[in-house]
Structure 1
Amino acid sequence: MAFPLPRGITPSEIAFLAEMETVTIVPRQRLEGLELLGGPVEPLVPPRRASLPLWLALLLKRQRRANIIPPSWLHPDPLGLILEVESQHQDYKNSFSPPPPLPGQPSINSFGKEANPRAQYTPDGDRYYAAPPFLPQNTAHGGDFTKETPALPFHWVEVGNMLLDAASDDLVEPDQIRRLLKDLREVRMSKMRSGVDVLDAAATVGGGVALTGVGAMELGEERGFVAGVVDNLRKIGASKEQARREQLADQRANGQYSATQDEEEDYMEF
């Protein structure tokens, strides 16, 4: 009997996708350029910085051929500020800190001016905007963290854990970063689990749970919990509807049914 796979993407698959994130390295020896499926990799010349996929950067780090420069958000000060905003700021009591701008949305550059995202083109000339994990959100110069509140990229959990495991000597105060990531993850998970309380009301009056700013691993880990809550709420709603219909049928049989109730039932069915 085959083992049933869980619904949706698994955490290991999410981590595999996160390995395509681009990071910044400082090579320690010369290496020739590579032709990868994701595009060509420029030749590595020390001490000139280069941007590589995370999986390749980790491979070179394990071989002691390069050092990884942590992204701008993976430092104690930005993480501490995000944790403070998530846990104490009233505006984000039931929501999450704002994510980096999506492709196609304007952002504010370091000069205080609005900067439109740069379009990319396919070999056929079609224009497109890159999306995670193909955005420079985890490079040393990626993202604008000069604003008051820094932003967490879509794969912040995966990238942070991978760099802590394989390149902790390249990070500033790795023990403090590990603690901040753990605290930040617990705070955000608590928000996600408390946010499902509104699903009961959303099932009757419409709406949903705002998950703007939630990362890929957070969504993958909470998918089963939220899906289970929704399924149970659907069953409860179906039993309530069945009980209401049985009550209306009894009222019809006893002659206690009014035209107003007919209109209400038609509205509910609509």
Structure 2
Amino acid sequence: MQSLSTLSKIDDLKFFCGDEKITIQPKFQLKEAIFIGGTYGPFNSIEQCDVPFWLALELKRKQKCHIIVPEWLQADNLEKSYTTELAKKVGDPYEVLPYHYIEMATQLLEYASDDIPNVVKVRRLLEDLWTASITAGTSMIELNNLTGMELHNIRPIITQALTQFQTLSDSMLSQ
């Protein structure tokens, strides 16, 4: 079972991705919408526009837009990312995906799955990519020649990090 503090951290991550920009196809007409964080628009059904992720999700919940699937979330690009992740060796850089790709993808799968082509394949590829990424990340950690005191000092940090990885993985798989 996930602790309250772990759940709040996941909610925090979902909140922080809210300012990421995403493209929508509005189903309504409006010159502009003014919010504390900025002014967005114009909104019309013949023109796509970029809005913050939080606004896109809110409009989608109200059935006021279609969300245009980001390139990184398209099945063919996820396959490429997955293949790259599997071929990665120690020292190779991480695959370049948006900083909040997991948080955004899980919310898009939850609230906008009807806008995602090949949604079942996309969901599977995201799970595979996440698993490969976590596996690669943990296998790249090398802790050679540590003293007992050094191990004692870093053990809680590593344990907490691995617990967070597992919690995020479980959260993604349960949605």
Distance 2:70 2:18 in 1: 14
Task: Answer yes or no: is 1:33 the counterpart of 2:32.
Answer: yes
Task: Answer yes or no: is 1:174 the counterpart of 2:119.
Answer: yes
**Distance change >3 Å, CA 93–CA 162, structure 1 → 2:** same
Alpha-carbon contact 1:31-1:43 (below 8 Å) kept: yes
Match of 1:153 in 2: 98
Map 1:1-270; keep pairs closer than 5 Å: 10-87=9-86, 89=87, 92-94=88-90, 95-99=92-96, 152-196=97-141, 198-201=142-145, 224-225=160-161
From the CA coordinates, give the structure whose radius of gyration is larger.
1
For structure 1, list consecutive stretches of 5 or more residues without a partner in the other structure: 100-151, 205-221, 228-270
Shift of 1:223: 7.7
TM-score (norm 1): 0.50
Q: Give CA deviations for 1:48-84 in whole Å, capped at 9, x if unaligned.
A: 1111111111111111111000101111111101111
For structure 2, list consecutive stretches of 5 or more residues without a partner in the other structure: 148-157, 164-175
Given residue 36 of structure 1, which amino acid in structure 2 is its aligned partner?
F
Distance 2:130 2:82 in 1: 9
SS of residue paired to 2:143 = helix
Distance 2:42 2:52 in 1: 14
| Matched length | 149
What percent identity do the matched residue pairs reach? 30
**Distance change >3 Å, CA 223–CA 43, structure 1 → 2:** farther
Alpha-carbon contact 2:22-2:53 (below 8 Å) kept: yes
Distance 1:66 1:79 in 2: 24
Alpha-carbon contact 2:84-2:95 (below 8 Å) kept: no
Given residue 199 of structure 1, which amino acid in structure 2 is its aligned partner?
L
SS of residue paired to 1:55 = helix
Over aligned residues, Cα RMSD in angstroms? 2.4
Choose between structure 1 and 2: higher helix proportion. 2
Q: Give CA deviations for 1:74-117 in whole Å, capped at 9, x if unaligned.
A: 11111101111111x2xx22345442xxxxxxxxxxxxxxxxxx
